[in-house]
Chain A
Amino acid sequence: MRLDAFSICHRYDIITAVDSVSVSLESGEFIGILGPNGSGKTTLLRVLAGVLKPCAGAVLLDGEDIHKMPPKLVARKIAVVAQNGYIPFPFSVRDMVMMGREPHLGRFSRESRRDTDVVSQAMTATGITHLAKRSVLDLSYGERQRVIIARALAQEPGILLLDEPTSHLDPGYRMEIMDIFKSLSRRKNIGVMAVLHDVNLASQYSDRLILLNHGRKVADGLPEEVVTKENMESVYGVDTVIQTHPVVGCPHVMLVPGSRASGQVEG
C-alpha cells in the first residue's frame, strides 16, 4: 500500500497552511513530520487522511484519488490517531475499540466472530485487555491514548497517520507508545506517518523525516540529513549542539539556552 501526495496546497480563508508539499509513504516505512507550531503539520495530515480537500494538488491512495473515494473505503486502508478528542459519553473500552470495525461492517450487519477476534488482538497489542469493561472516561491520558491506538489497529489499516500521538505523555508512556508504532510498521508492514513535536523522539524512531516551515517542506531525508544545526537554526530559531545518540546512532539535539531572543525570530 502507498500514499502519495502531489504538491498539495491548503488555505484557511486567506492564510495558506500548506504550500505545495509532496510526500509519499510506503508500507513498512516510518516517517516523522517535524516543524514549529503553525507550520501546517496537522493540516497536512488531515489532507492526507482525506478529511480536508486540498485547494490544489492530489492525494492518491494506491493510485486512487482519496478525496473521490467513499470515506468507508478510505477507513479500511488508513487509520488516524488524532490528538486526544472530546468523548462525551462513557463508552466502554471494548465498545470504543469495536468502533474501529465500522469501516468493515455493512449497514445492517452485526459484528462477526472475526470482528471480535480483531478487536481482542488489537487490545492485546496495546496492552489494554484488562481495561475492556472500564469506561474510557475513567482512564488516564496514557491509557486512553492506547485505546485510540487499539481502535486504529482494529481498522486493520495499511497506513497509520498519527497527530502528536505522545504529547502529554510521560517519557515511559511516550517510549512505550512509539515502540508499539515502530513494531507495527516492522511486523505488520504498516506505513506510519507521525506528526511529532519532539525532535529527538522523531529522529530516534523515524526512517525518514520531513521538516515543515510556514507550510512549505524545507527538508526531507534521513534523520542525519534533516536534524542539522542549520535546519534547527533556520526553522526553530534556536542554537543547538547535535550529537549522535550513543545507543541508537541517530542525531540527538541539545538546546543552547538563551539562544532565541524574543523578536529575533519570526513565526
Chain B
Amino acid sequence: MKKRLVMLLLLLFAAMVIAAGVGAVTIPVAEVISILLGRIPYVSKWIPNMGIENAYATIILQVRLPRILLAVIIGSSLAGAGATLQGLFGNPLADPYIMGISSGAALGATIAISFKLPSVIPGLSSVPQAAFLASIATMTAVYFLAGASGRVSMDTFLLSGVVVSSFLWAVMSFLMMVSGDSLREIMMWLMGSLSNKGYAHVKMAAPYVGFGICVLIVMARDLNLLCLGDDEARNLGVDPLPAKRIIVFASSLVTAASVSVGGIIGFVGLIVPHTMRMVVGPDHRLLLPSSIIAGGIFLVLADTIARTLIAPCEIPVGVITALVGAPFFFYVLKRRKR
C-alpha cells in the first residue's frame, strides 16, 4: 500500500521536473533537479553547486514553478473531490462539479471580469476572489435548499445542485451576452487555464486545498461504508448524516478553491479517480491518496502540453485534459476487460 503511494509521489516529482525543463528555453534535467531540491531546506545541503546559470533558476522558480504548483494543487483537489463524491454517491459518474460549485465560481468570475471588480488581495486579480466567494455562496445555497439541516438524501442534494446550477448558468449567459469585449476573457476562464498565474494564486488556494484534502483522507474509512448505503454505514458504526456533511463540506471547499484559481477544468475529477480505482482498487484509504497524487501528475503533464504544443500560443488546459483524457480513459477501460 505504502509502496504504491511512494511510487506515485516519485512519478509526480518526475512530472514536475519534466514540466520545469520544457518550454521556450529547454533546461537539462540534472539542473532542474538541483534547482528544485536546492530550494528545500535541509535537502539543499546535499545538492552540489553545479554553477547553474542564474537565468535558469529565474525561469524555473519565477515562471514555471508557480504554474506547476498550481497544476498540482488543482489536479489533486479535483481528483480527490471526484473520488470522494463518486464514493459518496456510489456512482462512478459523479465529478466535483456535480453539486453546482463550478457554476457558482463561473458566475463569480464572469461578474468580476465583466464589471472589472477591484481586487481585495494585493497581487491577485479580483477574478479568483469573486469566483471563490460565489462558489462558497452556491455551496451554502445548495446545502440549504436541499434541506440539509434535517434528514437529506443524496438525491435531493443532486437535484438541488442541478437546479441552482442551471439558474446560475442562465444569469451568467445573460451577462456574457451583454458583456461585449470581455467575452473572450470569460470564455478562456470557463475552459480552464493556468496561464498568467503566479504564487499569489498558489497562496490563495493552498490552505483550503490542504485542509480539505486532510479532512477527506481522514474520512476515507467512513467513505468505504457510506458507499454501501446509509443503513449499512449506520449498522457498521458510522453515523451517516454528520459524516456526509463533513465530506460534502471538505470536497466542496477544495473544489471551490481550485476552480476559482484555475477555471472549470473538466475530466480530471472524473477519469483520474476512475482510472485509479482500476489500478489500486476501490478501498478509499488507498484510492483517495492515490487519486490525489495522480490528479497532480495528470494536470502537470496536461498543462505542459497546453503551453508547449503550439507555443507561443496557449491552449486552455481544459481542452487538453478532455482531448487526452477521453482516449486514455477508453484505453484503460478496454485493457481492464482483457
Contact = CB atoms under 8 A, between A and B. Distances in A.
Interface in B184-236: 218, 221, 224-225, 227-229, 231-232, 234-236
How many chain A residues sit at the interface, stated as a range, is 20 to 34
B237 A72 contact: yes
B237 A74 contact: yes
B237 A89 contact: no
Contacts of B283: 91, 95
B28 interface: no
B249 to A, nearest CB: 17
Interface string A84-108: 0111111110010001101101011
Interface string B270-284: 000000010001110
A103 B229 contact: no
A157 B282 CA distance: 26
Contacts of A86: 90, 228-229
B234 A90 contact: no
A108 to B, nearest CB: 8
A260 B232 CA distance: 37
Given A90-B282, A95-B283, A46 B231 contact: yes
A162 to B, nearest CB: 12
B11 to A, nearest CB: 24
Contacts of A46: 231
Given A89-B227, A91-B283, A99-B224, A51 B235 contact: yes
Interface in B230-256: 231-232, 234-239
A155 interface: yes
Contacts, number: 75
Contacts of A91: 224, 281-283
A71 B239 contact: yes
Contact of B236 (A88, A89, A99, A107): A99
B62 interface: no
Interface stretch (A75-83, A170-178, A194-202): A75-83
Contact of A85 (B221, B232, B237, B277): B232
Contacts of B91: 88
A74 B225 CA distance: 16
Contact of B232 (A70, A74, A82): A82
A89 B236 CA distance: 18
Given A75-B236, A90-B281, A82 B231 contact: yes
Nearest to A90: B282
A35 interface: no
A85 B229 contact: yes
Nearest to A91: B282
Contacts of B234: 49-51, 71, 75
A110 to B, nearest CB: 9
A161 B75 CA distance: 44
Contact of B228 (A50, A74, A87, A107): A87
Contacts of B231: 46, 51, 80, 82, 85
Interface string A33-55: 00000000000001001110000
B246 to A, nearest CB: 12
A90 B229 CA distance: 15
Contact of A82 (B224, B235, B239, B282): B235
B23 interface: no
B237 A49 contact: no
Given A82-B231, A91-B283, A105-B221, A75 B277 contact: no
A78 B235 CA distance: 8
B289 to A, nearest CB: 14
B225 to A, nearest CB: 6
B235 A79 contact: yes
B92 interface: yes
B307 to A, nearest CB: 36
A35 B31 CA distance: 77
A75 B282 contact: no
B151 to A, nearest CB: 11
A103 B218 contact: no
A100 B228 contact: no
30 contacts: A49-B234, A50-B234, A51-B234, A70-B239, A71-B238, A74-B237, A75-B234, A76-B237, A78-B235, A79-B235, A80-B231, A80-B235, A82-B231, A85-B229, A85-B231, A86-B229, A88-B90, A88-B92, A88-B227, A89-B277, A89-B282, A91-B283, A92-B281, A99-B224, A99-B228, A102-B225, A103-B237, A107-B218, A108-B218, A155-B236
Q: Which 7 A-B pairs have the closest CB atoms?
A: A75-B237, A89-B282, A103-B237, A88-B90, A72-B237, A80-B235, A71-B239
Interface of A: 46, 49-51, 70-76, 78-80, 82, 85-92, 95, 99-100, 102-103, 105, 107-108, 151, 155
